[in-house]
Amino acid sequence: MDVRMELSRILIRELSDCQLIELREVAEPGEEMPGEPRSFPIVIGLPEAQAIDRRLKGIQIERPQTHDLLADVIREMGGRIERIGITTLSEHTFFAELWVRTSSDELIKIDSRPSDAIALGVASDAPIYVAEEVIESATREEI
């Protein structure tokens, strides 16, 4: 089962190679949380953290960066990002999918790093879903 989550925090430390984003469980629209929301961090790179932060703040830069380019390509081809899915956690590495609805109403899944999927999805308010087993693994003490 997939659980809806949201980007709750970005920690950018420009003097470090590792940045953090935190995902927090949220209720589906029209529902209530059954208990305390779970959350977990994902380590990402500085360029991805900056792209997420810039897109959240609506900051436009003079030339498109990679995430901006890909979002423009998807839009210009008549597609839209429908959802982000974080599907697997293996050996401390998260795996994700970007779900894109095409102009012909086909839903395609594209393999992605979570940071790239989130960088693309935040500007279009695409919901984030995480597999239950990923949440369980990510919230264990040893992770």
The DSSP code sequence of 91-140 is: TTEEEEEEEEE-TTS-EEEEEE-HHHHHHHHGGGT--EEEEHHHHHHHTS
Distance CA(118)–CA(111), nearest Å, equals: 13
Residue 79 has pLDDT above 90, yes or no: yes
pLDDT of residue 29: 85
pLDDT in tens, 91-117: 999 999 999 999 999 999 999 999 999
- Cα separation of 128 and 133, whole Å? 15
Max avg pLDDT among 58-62, 95-99, 123-127: 95-99
Are residues 128 and 23 in contact, defined by beta-carbon separation less than 8 angstroms? yes
pLDDT digits (tens, 9 = 90+) for 7-19: 999 999 878 878 9
Please report, for the chain, the start and end positions of each structural domain, with discontinuous segments joined by +: 2-138
In the predicted model, what is the mean pLDDT of residues 12-41? 89
Which residues lie below 8 Å from residue 34, measured CB to CB, with a gap of 6+?
none
Task: Look at residue 21 in the predicted model and tell me its pLDDT.
Answer: 95
Judged against a pLDDT cut of 70, whether residue 133 lies above it is answered with yes
pTM: 0.90
Kindly state the average pLDDT of the residues 12-37: 88
Q: Which of 7, 126, 20, 123 is nearest to 65 (CA)?
A: 123
Q: How many CB atoms lie under 10 A from the CB of residue 127? A: 18
CATH of 2-138, one of 3.40.1230.10, 2.30.29.30, 3.30.750.200, 3.10.690.10: 3.10.690.10
